[in-house]
Structure formats: structure tokens, C-alpha cells
Structure 1
């Protein structure tokens, strides 16, 4: 998938009051070639780039070469990785002297003004929200009044429309960002939502949105909402109603996925939105109910509040019970968090039975408030490679926090490895039913069981607790694409998440895995665990499954009713027939015929992160029939 450059289109559209401007085709898709292959062949008067974590180094390299070729060209940078704070902005300009101006926060109005300055229609004192170096002195103009969002749609721009054809030629799916409002009323210090945290939210006019809905449903494969809190306004429900009504009315709508960043305190609207998108399989990643942490000290440090634990768990269970997937983001290494307190928050999330838990190391975005509190919180960081360029100076990195005053580097690394292991074993279902039984019957917390496995297992079970060792042993140490051993001859295409690859390694060696699990479970001295272990093994999707005949297994206990129908556990002979013919859900049902195809989906579904719905197990009531023998 490739995200088409809607921000560039917005900048161009905002200059429609300036005559005789010729915008060259956008440079936006550069991962297969060196950035220098996109050098414009004609003279350039103004060159600009939106800097983000995924394109900063390549964009700066291109601007540097444009400036060398066109010495009188005015060069401009803006967006999330263009530094906002004065010390960082001045340092950036002095270390990148080929850059003339930084635009701070929203770029449309200052960009328009800089173009007019270049044409001699304004002087620099009339340009808002910029900084620059002149005669070895640093200057900065104040922010202007944020402009209205009542401007032409970016999707009508001819340069934008041309990018769709470029993506098609590359054989990639089309994706774009859709903005229905701008701004965020919250003040989370780790966030930098376009420099617009703690801001009043402004809305794109409804009439324009209606026109854009028609374009997006007919022309885009994936749509990422650019709103920080979609669902915060009553009209957001109406927007999705209009999307789904059009989607349902068309014979061949192109749209397949909408990724929303949901509001955290408007749960009724978020539920309705999730329900409508789920009905049409348009929100496979799920509804986001992000909490990051429940640790009071950490929340206070990052100026964040959360919904109550009880409310969170009630909501997640309601969503999941109604077939609406839910995911939760959690951040490791927030200042004030410890190993133990993070596990307490994680236990709350696990109890909510969410579809997906996404854990991340805290990242230091250059314009976030917390980037100015490094000394206060004793923050240590490292660069993390996220994009490997054709040449080394085109690599792209994020800045990850590896320790704070409350958690040292060793604890942070241990927690990261633990959460990856739990992601595979619990979210990936390999030990899900065992851990659920131990919690419900013996009162063992999920996190305590998995921590016990993490620290005290042996053999292959011990090996897979360390993703670094697994990827080194089986895939030459590469984390995101296949280079070594490839279970089931899966074609990973553009790459994978390491959790997906590790899931296939365990699935391939499931006999050894569950043999080690059997040994580990002996400590509980519970005779029912042997029968449960058989159920746990049988319910997993395996490469030798034959959909033509299904799979039948007999158990001493009523495990299916116990886990799926909330029945008491009783010792009565049950025969379960697993009769799936496909894996996945709705439009992405993959036939269980070719393991190289269906085991890829079983490992986590299609990717933007992992989608998980329909993955891992024989999982639906319709597909899992309980046959009680007479």
C-alpha cells in the first residue's frame, strides 16, 4: 500500500490565488530507488518538503541536491519532523544551510505567504509561523491565526490524481489520508498531532466531505483518518452512515479499509461507528480504545487521563461480544512507569479480551512537549532503523526511549521482549486457553503466567521468549522480511511483522512446542491440564488441516462450552468437529487449501500492523460444531 500525498495537494490548492504557478509532479514514492533519481530535470524556483519520521533524511538529501543545482531556489520544510522549538530550529537551520525556511505547525497559509514573498508581493515580516537564518542571525515570526478548512478538496488536484496512476503502475494498493477535522483538545505530552495538541478542533465543511466520500469509496483501497479523535462530534456517525450507504449501493466499490483514530470519551458514537464499519468489513484493524497506561504517576507526567478501568473492560467486552474488533495501544518507558506497574495495566487490558494489544517503546517526536523534558525525566534514547534506503544516508530512523528515571534500560528491554512473547503466545492463541483456565480456576494473573513462561521455561519454549534469538537463528537476524528459513513456503511479499514470522515458526514446530509446554505445566499438578492441552492444540489452525473432511476430536471435559458459552466445567465426554473451509472474515476469506496461503493469514491476517480477525484458530460458532455423543 502507498499513502498518496494529500498534504502536498493541500499546499498547492491553498495557492490557487497566485497566478502563473507551475507545480511539478509530486515526489512521494521513493522506497525502490535512490531519492536522487527523482531530481527534477527543469529549473526549480521553490522546493519544499513535508518532513516525517519515514522520509526526513531522503527529503533533505533531495532538497540539498536541488539547491546545489538551483542556487537561487527557495527551499522550505515543514510538518512533524521540522523542529518547532527555537533551540532545535536554529540548530537545524545552521546544520542544514541549504534550507531557507522552516514552517511551524500548519503549513497552508505560511506556504502561500512564502510564495508571495518569493514573487516580491510580501516581505518576510508578513509571513506567519516561519524561522530562518539571515546574516548569521536566527529569526522567527509568530504563529498566525489558523486558517479556515473551507478550501477546495485535495482530491480534485490534478497532481494528486496523477499519483494514483503512478501507484497503479507499481502494482500497489491506493491509500490516502482523509481529514474531517483538525486539532486535538488533549495535551498528551508524548504526542505531536501536527503541532495541534491543546487546540480547539475545526471541522471540514460537511458539503465538501460528502463530495470526498464519493471519491474515496470509488477510488481508494485504504483510507487513514487524519483526525486525532474521530467520533468526537455527532456528525461523525452521519459521515460513516453516508460512507456505508454508498459502499452498499455500489456493485464494485474500490474501498476495502478505513483506519480510524477514535475519540476516547465518546463511547456511544465510537460504538456506532465501529458497528457500521464492521458490518461491511471496513475496519479490520478494529476500533481503537487506546489507554497507553493506567499508572497514575506516568499519566500525570505525560498530562494524560484515561477512562476508568471498569468502564474500559465493560466497553471492550461489549464490543467483542457484538463482533466488533477492538485494539489497544500501550507505551513502554513512559516516565513514571515501572516493570511492575506496566504489568498491572497490561493485566487490565488482557482482562478486557481485546482483539489486539499493540505495545510500543515511547518515541521522542521532535516537536512533542516531552522532548523538552529529557533532563527532568532522565530520558535516554537510541535510534531505531525503520526504513533501509538504497544507500545508507537514505535510511530513516525513529528515536526510541530506552530508559527513564523510573525504569532502566535492562528492565525496558526485558519488558519489550516479554510483551512480544505475550503477543505471540496469547494474542496469537498458542497458550490462550491454558492461560484463561489458570486465571479463572486458579486465580493466576495472565501476566504472571506468561512471565513464568518467559523466565522459567526450557527448550524450544524458552528460545521463542527472545525474538532476537529467534530471528537470528531462523532468519539471519532480519526482522521485517524473509531471508532465511521460510515455514510453509509462504510468499511474504513486501515483508512481515516479526510476530507473524515467529508465529509460523512455532506452528511449524508445534509438536516440540507443546511437548515443552506439557513439561512446563507439570508444576501445577492439575490432571485436567492434559485434556485442556489437547483442546488447545486442536483448536489451532495447522498446515495439515483438510477442509474436505474437517477434524474431529474427543475431550474428557466440555472445553468448548466452558470457553465459548460460559458453561461450568464438567467432566463429560465431548466430541468437537472443526469444520472450517476458510480462514478470515467476510471479503477476505482465504480457502484452507494451500498452506503457503492460509498459514500466512493464520499468522495474523493482512497487515497494517496485524488485523487478527479470523486468524490463528478454528474460531467461529458457525464453523466449530459441538457433537455430544449419545
Structure 2
């Protein structure tokens, strides 16, 4: 048993780790550990010496150079493996180091938390929910105790731990919240996070903390006990301005609220953002997760922020449209009437936003998920983001009793970019996904994989949104076009047939029965070397850029033929609309940024003649047919603006990968999609 000699001071390493081995991001500021550090400094001042870390190598080097007294890591689904390996390694070097985890990825029940702690042999304490008070209580106990055994001799408020000596688990029956979170000093305004401005990280702020909903697939509401705590509004404004003054290459600001727009004051916060942008040129793009209620307020906020809102900002995230599924997951959604009203309002104002569906939720069927996709297209939803159900620690659905009730069976796959070798530590991150339930088998769930991919490529990113909107005016839902593209791929040009077959094969082959099998497979020298070269990535992004970089013209041809066949089968006279289809494809061909030309400095302005006024039609294409906009001889100019070039170059530098495909797919996660397309104007 190691007895400490001095309790006058404490060396603390706090880390919010992400993998940066093969890719530069996108990663955000470690605001979570920033809050914890700022609060600890407020309470203990010079008695604590705190260092913050974002990247594994930096932390490993620091531990080698100087042993911390306490090593504390934020624990999320994307860094579970590297966290576990680092605390095991650190304990091997210095067994007296106190190891701490905090974050949402922790079991809900006493029994399951006990199992978790007994397996995690290198972990000493887990801080629950709000991290600031629980971690400060650990620091206080450290100062009061001479050994780890003494620290565990009685319960620590807001913390859980396992005492191997007594075989007892400490799990609090009640939680002591910081009711006024304004007591937590700002990690930005105190300078705690200043060192991270040099790392090209995306600034992340919270205007409030918590979620009032009980969705069983999510840990957010559970972690806050369905409560919301607000930071002072003047402080929020000061933080945004502070960031704007210090930021370098980054154009994006992420708002970490679960429901932005839930409070009336969020209108003022949007005005702060707009005014600060006018003064400092930042933020250019804003990511928010919209509130699930108050549609009129959301419209007001969106009007203020306008084109600063990225399409990845989710509004009306239904997750399911089936009432039985909603009941199973304890969720209430927007009415479709309100949702469609707001969507059409956003379209008129050229504001980007998205909605979400989750495949594999309890009670969902193949038919109900298809119905949900069709409904969202019918509502003119600008971006439909589809996820597979991911089993998250800390969520009710992850509990053994829930898995059994709904027949949830899972497999594991590698997380894109979630791997690295740091000194002698090899780490590979995995995610656990539901691949069958009592209502859907594995074949039915995997059936949707290429459908979801083509929704993202054709519709969400907008590469073929105009032709699909055109078919909607003929009563043809884009889902049916996408299914036809997949089912008729044998007729496609060879390049497209190969890409679609490769996608389907890879979407079936990426699954493993356990985390251990994934680690064993990818840790072999040959497979790990392939990982480094970018062979694995999020399939939707990877294959989007395979098409754009390898065979865009072939895809144009194939999609044109499929649309032709669908319209003909519906009895539409092709001769009467051939000019319209030709114009639409000519438009989509010229509006997208050709990245091969861009990276080789060959991008030029283009002037193209059309027979229809597509720009005027796009403003009303949910109301009027393209045929009403005939305007022979109209000329449109396609330009990649100076500002866009600067943004793209910054992002390429920030997210540079091992090849162009990897660079583009990492950029795409947070880029404003409008920057992927040329500006179009009348000549």
C-alpha cells in the first residue's frame, strides 16, 4: 500500500481524448474538462496544478515526464478503448496514480454499474452526471487521505467506485446538483482553454445544459434527470465574442445544447451570434440541434441566423414516425403540419436544416421505416439523416432488460478514424449497433444501408436534388427512385455497378461479433497498415467521393436512364419533357465543385445557356412545375467565390488525410454544404 508524503498540492491531468493518428479531425474544444478544471481551480486555487489534454500522444509523453497524482478522462462512446488502455498503462508505470472516468457512458442500474466497475480493474472512481462537483469531491478526499484505500473508506458524493478489498460498490442513492451552473467559471473567459486555439479545433459552447426528454436510446435526459440548467446570458455572449477574437482558421461554432430554441432568450443569443459575426467575421457557420417544440420561435431564430446555419443542424428529428415506436422509446414528436410549415419556410429563405430517423428502434418494421422516409420526402425535408440504432452506455435501451424485451441483437464495427498507435499503446474504437430486433431481421436492416447512402448523396448533399424534386412534381417519391437505382444496378455503367456492389459488400462485411474480434483483426500489421492508408471510413462519405472523384459522368448517365424509365412506366411522354430533364442534368453537372480541378488549380468560371429558368423554379419548386419557367436562351454563371476558395483551403488544411477521399470525407462532416457548390447567378 502506497502512502503519500504530502497533501499540500495535487498534480492533475484531465483529458478529453480523440484519435488523431490518421486524421486531423474534425475535433472540438475539450469544453467538458475545461469546466471541470475551472471549477476545481475556483475551489482549490494553487493547491491544484491542472493540465488539459486532447490527444493521446501528448498525454502519454506528459505521464512519462511527470507522474500525475490524479489522471481523469472524459468517457464517451468514441474513446472508450483508448481511455481503458491508457489508465491500464499508467497504473503499470505508477500504481499510486488515482484514475477517474466521467461522462455519460456508464450503466444506469446498480447491478450493471457494479459489473462495469469490477471489470475495469485499472479504474478507481467514476464521476456521475455533472462532472464538476463530483470530481472536486474526489480532490477533497485525496487531500484528506493517505492511501487509495482511505479514499474508498466511505462514499464520495456524486461518485461511484468499487472497493476490491471489501467487495462493495459505492453507488449514490441521491444526487447533489449544482443548481446555479453560473457558479462554474467559464473555461473560455478564465483562459483555461486558450492553449487549444492553436490546434485547429472547433469551438464548442453550451448556453444551457441538460434535456427535458426521456428518449430511451439516448443518455442526455437520463444524465440530467430531465432537467435543464441555464448559463447566464451575458456570459454566453462574452464567450462567443472571446472566441471570435481569438479564433484562427476555423469558421464553425458548435452549440452543444440538446434543444436550442427551447427558451425565449435563445432569440437574443442568436442575435449575439449575428452581431458578433458582423464585427469579427466569425462564426461563419453554426451547428445547432433544434428544440423539439416552439416552431414559431425556431423560425425567428433561423431567420436571424439565416445562411450561417449548416445543413447538419437537425430540426424536427423524428427518429421514427410510427406511433407505436414512439411509445416504446418514450418520445413525442412535432406534428407533421408544423414540421412541413417550417420546412417550407426554411426553403423560401434558403436556410439549410435536416431531420433524422433511426433504423432499428423497438417496434420499427421494414414497412414503417420506408413509410417514414416517404413522409419526410413528402414534407420537402431538406436533409434526411438516417442512423442505425447505436447502443449507448447510460441509456435505458442499453439495459439488459430492454434488450431482452425488444429482442435487440447487436454486432460491432470500427469507428471511422477511431484508431491509433501511440508509443506502445495500440487502440481501436468500436461501436455496437442493433442489427436485428423482434420486428426486423438483419437482412431487413441491411437492406436500408444503400438506400440511406443514396439519400445522403443525391438529396442531402444536393448533388441531384433538382432532378428528384422534379420527379416529386410528377408524383414520384425519391425513395422509389433510389430503390430503382439499387435494384437495376446490373444495367448501370461498369464503374457505377462496381461502386454500388462494393458498397453493399462492404456494408455487410464491416460487422464483427465482439470488440475483441475487431481488435484482433485490425491490429494485425497488414490490416492496420491499410487502416492508416484510409481503406476504412464512413461508407456514405467514402462512396460519395468515390463517385464524384472517379465516375461522376457515368452516374449522371445512369440516373438519367433510371428517371427516363420511371417516367415512361408512369405513362409520361418523354418527348415532352426531354428538354426539361436535359436542362436539370446540365445544371447539376455544372453547379457542383469539381474537387479534382480545385486541388489542381484548374477551377474556372462557367457560363451555360439553358432553356428553363431553373433558379426561379428552385424558389417555388414545391409549388410550380418546371415547364412554367421556360425561358429559351437564359444564361447562368457558375462561380466558385473567393470566400469559398478560402474556406475550402482552410478545411483541407485542417482535415488533411492520407488521400483526397479521406480529406473530403472528414471535411464533409462539418462543412456548410453550400460551400460544396458553385455560386449561380444570371448573366
Quickly name the TM-score band, shorter chain normalised. 0.7 to 0.9
SS at match of 2:130: coil
Contact 1:332–1:416 (8 Å) recurs in 2 = no
Report the Cα distance in structure 2 between the residues aligned to 1:130 and 1:299, rounded to whole angstroms.
32
Residue range with higher mean Cα deviation, 138-147 or 297-306:
138-147
Residue 134 of structure 1 and its aligned partner are, at CA, apart by 3.6
Partner Cα distance (2:616, 2:288) in 1: 34
**In the alignment, which of 18, 22, 38 is matched to residue 13 of structure 1?**
38
2:452 maps to 1:404: no
1:259 to 253, 270, 287: 287
- Structure 2 equivalent of residue 612 of structure 1: 673
DSSP-derived class of the 2:202 partner:
strand
Instruction: Give the distance between the partners of 2:177 and 2:163, measured in 1 at CA.
Output: 24
* Residues 207-256 of structure 1, C-alpha deviations (whole Å, 9 max, x = no match): 32232122122224333222111111111111121222232133xx4533
- 415-424 or 562-571: which moved more? 562-571
| Aligned match for 1:248, one of 258, 278, 287 | 278
Q: 1:294, CA displacement in angstroms?
A: 0.8
Deviations 1:397-417 (A, max 9, x none): 221111111111101111122
**Could you tell me the TM-score, scaled by structure 2's length?**
0.77
**Structure 1 residue 417 corresponds to structure 2 residue 475:** no
Structure 1 CA distance, aligned partners of 2:46 and 2:481? 68
Task: After TM superposition, give the deviation of residue 340 of structure 1 in Å.
Answer: 1.6
Structure 1 position 4 matched with structure 2 position 41: no
Aligned 8 A contact 1:439 1:446 in 2: yes
Partner Cα distance (1:302, 1:323) in 2: 33
Deviation for aligned residue 1:191: 0.8
Q: State the SS of the aligned residue for 2:133.
A: helix
Aligned equivalent of 1:143, options 165, 168, 174 = 174
The alpha-carbon deviation at position 108 of structure 1 amounts to 1.1
Distance 1:455 1:481 in 2: 34
Q: Does the 8 A contact of 1:244 with 1:277 survive in 2? A: yes
Equivalent residue for 1:453, pick from 471, 481, 485: 485
Farther-moved stretch of structure 1 (374-383 vs 20-29)? 20-29
Q: Is 2:589 the counterpart of 1:537?
A: no
In the TM superposition, residue 84 of structure 1 has moved relative to its aligned partner by 3.9
Note if 1:86 corresponds to 2:110. Answer: yes
Take 1:587 and 1:519, find their aligned partners in 2: how far apart are those partners? 36
Q: What is the distance in 1 between the residues matched to 2:88 and 2:322?
A: 45
1:232 and 2:262 correspond: yes
Deviations 1:17-76 (A, max 9, x none): 22553334222123xx59744534223221111111222211221112222222222211
What is the rounded CA distance, in whole Å, between the counterparts of 2:381 and 2:648 in structure 1? 23
Task: Report if aligned partners of 1:188, 1:197 keep a CA contact under 8 Å in 2.
Answer: no
Aligned with 1:118 (options 117, 127, 142): 142
Cα 1:604–1:311 shift into 2, 3 Å: farther
Is 2:328 the partner of 1:301?
yes
CA distance in 1, matches of 2:312, 2:213: 24
Task: Name the structure 2 match of 1:513.
Answer: 558
- What secondary structure does 2:482 align onto? helix
CA distance change for structure 1 residues 127 and 509 in 2, over 3 Å: closer, same or farther?
same
For normalisation by structure 1, the TM-score amounts to 0.83
Contact 2:611/2:630 (CA < 8 Å) preserved in 1? no
Cα deviation 1:123-182 (Å, max 9, x = unaligned): 6335233232342232323332211302211114454222333x1xxxxx2323211111
Count, aligned residues:
589
* Aligned partner of residue 181 in structure 2, secondary structure: coil
**In angstroms, what is the RMSD of aligned CA positions?**
3.6
Counterpart CA distance in 2 for 1:243 and 1:573 is 40
List per-residue Cα deviations over 1:74-95 (Å, max 9, x = no partner): 2111102233432332222222
Identify which range, 104-113 or 510-519, moves more after superposition.
510-519
Structure 1 residues 559 and 480: CA distance shift in structure 2, 3 A: farther
CA distance, structure 2, for counterparts of residue 397 and residue 605 of structure 1:
18
> Aligned equivalents of 2:104 and 2:70: distance in 1?
20
The C-alpha deviation readout for 1:527-550, integer Å capped at 9, x for no partner, is 235333312320113459985551
Higher relative contact order (Cα pairs below 8 Å, separated by 6+ residues): 2
Note if contact 2:221-2:227 (Cα within 8 Å) is conserved in structure 1: no
Q: Does 1:550 align with 2:607?
A: yes
Distance 1:124 1:278, change over 3 A: farther
The offset of 1:511, in angstroms, is 5.9
Note the residue ranges of structure 2 that are not aligned, 5 or more in a row: 1-25, 146-150, 508-525, 650-655
Determine the structure 2 residue equivalent to 1:489: none
